[in-house]
């Protein structure tokens, strides 16, 4: 016998746990808070997440990362002006009063806090950054080919610059929440996209 069948949607349960992790952080999120948010009991939890809280957290980051990358990739792909969309995406980071789920702060915080402490988390964050870099590089190459960007800088390096900016904004937001300062910093970094 393979055990009792699951009677809950794992992706939905992970999404609910993600909210707890976003609000409380990994270390302070209690098992009871996670189980209550997920709407499952301990038995079901340990059947689905044999590695316990750590496995749940790693899967939470992975699911969130995949969703974030898919959303940003699709949004850029579907925009009429991909470079303008990228610029607005970055400028919107300065406007967020709190870490908004659509802006990827959960991932940014994970990058800063935990990626060096855990090899599984580091692997996910490396994949995320490489994925973002590829999304940005594709848009930059297209914009250079159609004359939308005049810069002849290597699209791969420009894309890494943007990926580094995304990373840096999340680090800086932890120390400085002035919209004016963040906006100025982001605009200065985006001048490379001419």
Cα 113 to Cα 41: distance, rounded to the nearest angstrom:
29
16 part of a folded domain? no
What one-character DSSP code corresponds to residue 4?
P
Highest mean pLDDT among 9-23, 57-71, 98-112, 148-162: 148-162
Residue 115 has pLDDT above 70, yes or no: no
**Domain enclosing residue 113, as ranges:** 58-190
Model pTM score: 0.82
Tell me, what CATH number does 146's domain have? Answer: 1.10.357.10
Cα 45 to Cα 35: distance, rounded to the nearest angstrom:
8
Q: What is the structure's pLDDT at 102?
A: 42
Decide: 44 and 38 in contact? Cβ < 8 Å. Answer: no
1 part of a folded domain? no
How confident is the model over 142-170, as a mean pLDDT? 94
176 part of a folded domain? yes
Q: What is the structure's pLDDT at 188?
A: 97
75 part of a folded domain? yes
12 part of a folded domain? no
Q: How many distinct structural domains can be found in the chain?
A: 1
Cα 130 to Cα 106: distance, rounded to the nearest angstrom:
17
Q: Which has more confidence, 60 or 121?
A: 60
53 part of a folded domain? no
As given in the structure block, the two tokens for residue 75 are 């949004």
72 part of a folded domain? yes
Question: What own/partner pairs with CB < 8 Å and gap ≥ 24 does 182-187 have?
Answer: 182/93, 182/94, 183/91, 183/94, 186/90, 186/91, 186/93, 186/94, 187/91
79 part of a folded domain? yes
Q: What is the structure's pLDDT at 71?
A: 94
What's the chain's average pLDDT? 86
């Amino acid at each position: 016998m393979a055990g009792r069948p699951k009677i809950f949607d794992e992706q939905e349960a992970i999404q609910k746990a993600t909210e707890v992790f976003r609000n409380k952080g990994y270390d302070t999120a209690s098992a009871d808070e996670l189980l209550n948010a997920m709407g499952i009991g301990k038995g079901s939890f340990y059947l689905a997440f044999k590695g316990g809280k750590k496995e749940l957290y790693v899967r939470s980051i992975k699911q969130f990362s995949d969703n974030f990358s898919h959303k940003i990739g699709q949004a850029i792909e579907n925009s009429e002006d991909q470079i303008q969309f990228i610029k607005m995406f970055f400028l919107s980071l300065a406007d967020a009063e709190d870490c908004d789920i659509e802006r990827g702060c959960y991932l940014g915080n994970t990058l800063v806090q935990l990626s060096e402490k855990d090899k599984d988390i580091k692997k996910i964050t490396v994949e995320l950054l490489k994925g973002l870099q590829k999304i940005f590089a594709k848009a930059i190459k297209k914009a250079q080919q159609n004359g939308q960007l005049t810069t002849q800088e290597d699209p791969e390096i420009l894309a890494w610059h943007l990926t580094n900016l995304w990373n840096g904004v999340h680090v800086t937001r932890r120390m400085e929440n002035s919209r004016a300062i963040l906006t100025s910093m982001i605009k200065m970094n985006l001048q490379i996209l001419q």
